[in-house]
Amino acid sequence: MTDPVKLDLFLELSAFITGFERVELLGTGLALPYLEVVEKNIAPSLFVETLHKFDDARNDHPENIGQIMQRQFLAHPTYGPLLRTIIKLWYLGQWDALPESWQERFGNSTPVSGIISSSSYLEGLVWKAIDAHPMGGKQPGFGTWSSAPEEK
């Protein structure tokens, strides 16, 4: 698998599990760094396998992809912990260590954990999800906090 294809699938998968559009993920400037983080932390074969399975599922059953993701991926003992960690990576900008037993079987020998970088903190999707800005960055400007939150 060539890198652009891998990045593309990583983005598709990430968009699906985070609830954000692909371009929103790209807009963080962190797609590539996060791909690297995932690859540093888990065995390459498992990651490729996960991406392929996801690709097959969405191509074969586009109408039912939500339920498939829930039952066959997030509820899966191997894929589930990985996908939840990837969701948190996008939302919080940090890599949470996976359970030890999981890490032993599928992890890489040189895991990184914690907040990846200043920009990963500032680009955490959680802030967009809650219609706020990261605390200490991307400030909204004087007095803007007085107005009622915009309803969607």
Partner 1 sequence: MKKQHITSLESLYQHLQWAVEVEHFTIPPYLCALFSIPEQSSNKDSAKIIKSVVMEEMLHMTLAANLMNAVGCTPIISQPGFLPDYPQNLPHSDDHFIVSLGPFSEAAVETFLKIEKPEKKGSSGNAEHYRTIGELYNAIEEGLEYLCKLLGPDQVFRGDVSRQVTSQDYYGGGGKIVVVECLDSARKAIMEVKEQGEGFVEGDSIWDDDAQWGQPDEPAHYYRFMEIAKGQHYQEGDTPESGPSGKKFHVDWDDVYKMKINPKVSDYPVGSEIRTLMESFNFKYTKLLDFLQKAFSGNQDKWIAAVGIMYELKYDAVALMQIPTGDGDTVVGPSFEFSYAYFRSNRTDEL
Partner 2 sequence: MKDRIYSDHVVNGQHYDVLIIGGGMSGALIANELRNKGKKILVLEAGLVEGLSETSYQAYLSRFYTQEAKVPNSPYPNNCFAPQPNVMDIEKILPNKPDTKGYFVQKGPLPFSSTNTRSLGGTTLHWLGVCLRMLPNDFKMESCYQRGVDWPIDYWDLKPFYEQAELEIGVSADTADLKYPGAGPDFFGDYDFPMHKIPPNYLDTYLAKQLEGMRYIDDEEEIDVDVVSIPQGRNSNPNVNYIDPRTGKPYVPRGSVSDPYTGQRCEGNSNCIPICPVQAKYNALKTLQSALQSKNVEVQAQCVVSKFEFDENANVLAVRYKHYVKAGDRSGITEGRITADTYVLAASAIENAKIMLASKAQDSSGSLACNLMDHPYLLTWSLLPDHIGPFRGPFTSSGIPSFRDGRFRNKKSAFRTDIGNWGWNFPTGAPYSDVANMVDQRNLFGKDLRNKLHDTVQRQMRFGFLIEQLPSKTNCITIDPSYLDDLGNFRPIIQYDLGNYEKAGFALAKEFSDQVYQRLGAEQYTTYSPSDPGFVKYGQEGFTFHGSGHIVGTHKMGNTKFDGVVTPSQQCFEHPNLYLVGCGSMPTIGTSNPTLTMAALALKTSTELSNKLR
Positions touching partner 2 (CB under 8 A) are 16-20, 66, 69-70, 74, 83-84, 87-88, 91-92, 94, 96, 114-115, 117-118, 121-122, 125-127, 129-133, 135-137, 139-149, 151-152
Q: Which residues pair with 42 in a beta bridge?
A: 107
Instruction: Residue 129: name its binding partner from partner 1, partner 2, none (Cβ under 5 to 8 Å by kind).
Output: partner 2
Instruction: Residue 27: name its binding partner from partner 1, partner 2, none (Cβ under 5 to 8 Å by kind).
Output: partner 1
Nearer of residues 100 and 142 to partner 1, judged by Cβ: 142
* Contact partners, residue 2, CB within 8 Å, separation at least 6: none
Nearer of residues 39 and 121 to partner 2, judged by Cβ: 121
Could you give the CA distance from residue 91 to residue 27 in angstroms, rounded to a whole number? 14
Tokens coding 121: 């903190």
Could you give the CA distance from residue 97 to residue 80 in angstroms, rounded to a whole number? 14
Could you give the CA distance from residue 43 to residue 81 in angstroms, rounded to a whole number? 14
Nearer of residues 70 and 118 to partner 1, judged by Cβ: 118
Instruction: Residue 5: name its binding partner from partner 1, partner 2, none (Cβ under 5 to 8 Å by kind).
Output: none
Q: How many helices (H) and strands (E) in the chain?
A: 9, 2
